[in-house]
Chain A
Amino acid sequence: NAGVTQTPKFQVLKTGQSMTLQCAQDMNHNSMYWYRQDPGMGLRLIYYSASEGTTDKGEVPNGYNVSRLNKREFSLRLESAAPSQTSVYFCASRVTSGNSYEQYFGPGTRLTVT
């Protein structure tokens, strides 16, 4: 199993450009998540998808859109990138184990907006 994969690993954008971050998981998990990580802020939830066909906003959704293409794939789109979106983006998927909710993370996409 590859687990959670993300592409690209690195990206540099100019202000106003658009791009899509791709995420896929091969663990047959129902739920998927997008987080951003900024220095001193921990991880903050952008959007999540509890199951195929549903998406919901997290803590910091402004400036982003998502698509749950199928059970495996969950993409994050920046329509008009801004310097404030410079961050490391992590995708995760969730397994239910007993009564806990473990998440498995991808390796991250490091995005710089100039």
Chain B
Amino acid sequence: GAVVSQHPSRVICKSGTSVKIECRSLDFQATTMFWYRQFPKQSLMLMATSNEGSKATYEQGVEKDKFLINHASLTLSTLTVTSAHPEDSSFYICSATDRSNQPQHFGDGTRLSIL
């Protein structure tokens, strides 16, 4: 089956640090990748949709200068949380799909803790 690898799985860092999270499709070409945020015991909130080679489309209320997304190749997308603060602490999950409306394949998530 399609495998998506997300790294790192856990990050603990000081306030003001920028953190980069990688999302890789290991055995398929991901034309589209999605970034989600999930608070404890809540559902997934879509942050942005990323198509290879083009700018990400951000959901309303998501600061594009705060959450930088790069999707430079068909197998890699990165999310950089710039100048992270404690309120950015959350579980971030990526997913990827190779065709529109086909099942999204999810990474295992990154738990980000900002002290």
A and B: bona fide binding partners: no
